[in-house]
Structure 1
Amino acid sequence: MTVTQRRGRRIMMTPGELDAFLTTQRTCRVATVSADGAPHVSTLWFVWDGGSLWLYSVVRSRRSADLRRDPRAAVVVDTGEEYDELRGVELSGSVESVGEVPRTGELCAELDLPETLFARKHFGVDELPHDGRHAWLRLTPRKTVSWDFRKLTPP
């Protein structure tokens, strides 16, 4: 993962902190560009495999339509209520579809890890049920910016 953060280095997450954060968080906000050029932001569950963010998106969603037309996306994962608790990551780059669309469970070795991670994280099972309505999208970030405002507070 390329970290290109120039500002806010004091509150930037280390690679280990970033990996731990993305592994444990469940929900992200995905920003896409609509056909008319307007931004569109939607909430989605995800999994992180240590190098890519995997999104399991409904095929007939506005988000999926936007990404088929223009694969550029920005994703924010964040948490915290009070100012000194805020933590988050913004990942941006191009999204690519992996596996059949919609996903019906055909063999695809590339999806073994994300499907297992997703099934365990979000459903508490070892195998992801396929409903024929979703498809996998992979974002391997070109740019990553992170923040952890807890670092501003002395221990």
Structure 2
Amino acid sequence: MPAREQRRGRAIAMAPTEVDAFLATERTCRVATLSSDGPHVAALWFVWDGASLWLNSVVRSQRWTDIVRDPRVAVVVDAGEQYQELRGVEIKGTAEPVGDIPRTGAPDPELAGPERLFAGKYTGRATMAHDGRHAWLRITPSKITSWDFRKLPS
């Protein structure tokens, strides 16, 4: 199911190609999950493949426990220092584990793309190292909202 269209703030929304470029270059996201005692937010590295957001998460973490219990998440990636430079993307959707848990590095065609993107983005290498503590979460967006205050009239 495609993500719902942004209804508000369309004048400052990023075009789909701008969202893709922004998510390809920014390095840190903040992931909000639902814990038994309320929201939990944590910073994490990510990759975007044009359709899904991929997180390489420690499997013994509050985030992983929360997602197993309730897969609904919200993720924010933002940038900018001054008000008129602020820009970002919020993705609401569901997270699901993909591949072996924890990830051993055994060949998995579904993870080949995300692992190549992740290794290139964060290590400059073509392949990814696996530590036996992390596994993959794929976030399928139900709604993507973006903003770019640089588009505001001066």
Which aligned pairs between 1:13-28 and structure 2 lie closer than 5 A? Answer: 13-28=14-29
Deviation at 1:153? 3.7
Measure, in 1, the Cα distance between the counterparts of 2:153 and 2:133. Answer: 45
Q: Which residue in 2 is equivalent to 1:91? A: 91
Q: Is the 1:103–1:132 Cα contact (8 Å) retained in structure 2?
A: yes
State the secondary structure of the residue aligned to 2:141.
coil
Measure, in 1, the Cα distance between the counterparts of 2:96 and 2:75. Answer: 14
Which aligned pairs between 1:33-72 and structure 2 lie closer than 5 A? Answer: 33-36=34-37, 38-72=38-72
After superposition, give the CA deviation of every residue in 1:74-131 in whole Å (9 maximum; x if it has no partner).
0000000111000000001110110000000112100000000000100111110000
Measure, in 1, the Cα distance between the counterparts of 2:63 and 2:47. Answer: 17
Aligned length: 153
State the secondary structure of the residue aligned to 2:126.
coil
Deviation at 1:69? 0.9
Q: Is the 1:56–1:136 Cα contact (8 Å) retained in structure 2?
A: yes
Deviation at 1:3? 4.2
Measure, in 2, the Cα distance between the counterparts of 1:28 and 1:55. Answer: 9
Please report the RMSD computed on the Cα atoms of aligned residues, expressed in angstroms. Answer: 1.0
Measure, in 2, the Cα distance between the counterparts of 1:3 and 1:41. Answer: 23
Measure, in 2, the Cα distance between the counterparts of 1:33 and 1:3. Answer: 22
Deviation at 1:4? 2.3
Deviation at 1:2? 2.1
What amino acid is the match of 1:71?
A: P
Matched, 1:100 2:125: no
Structure 2 unaligned residues grouped into runs of 5+: none
Q: Which residue in 2 is equivalent to 1:9? A: 10
After superposition, give the CA deviation of every residue in 1:52-80 in whole Å (9 maximum; x if it has no partner).
10000001111111111111100000000
State the secondary structure of the residue aligned to 1:40.
strand
Question: Cα gap change, 1:90/1:152 in structure 2, threshold over 3 Å: closer, same or farther?
Answer: same
Q: Which residue in 1 is equivalent to 2:133? A: 133
List 4+ stretches of structure 1 deviating above 6 A.
Answer: none
Question: Cα gap change, 1:112/1:56 in structure 2, threshold over 3 Å: closer, same or farther?
Answer: same
What amino acid is the match of 2:35?
A: S
Q: Which residue in 2 is equivalent to 1:147? A: 147
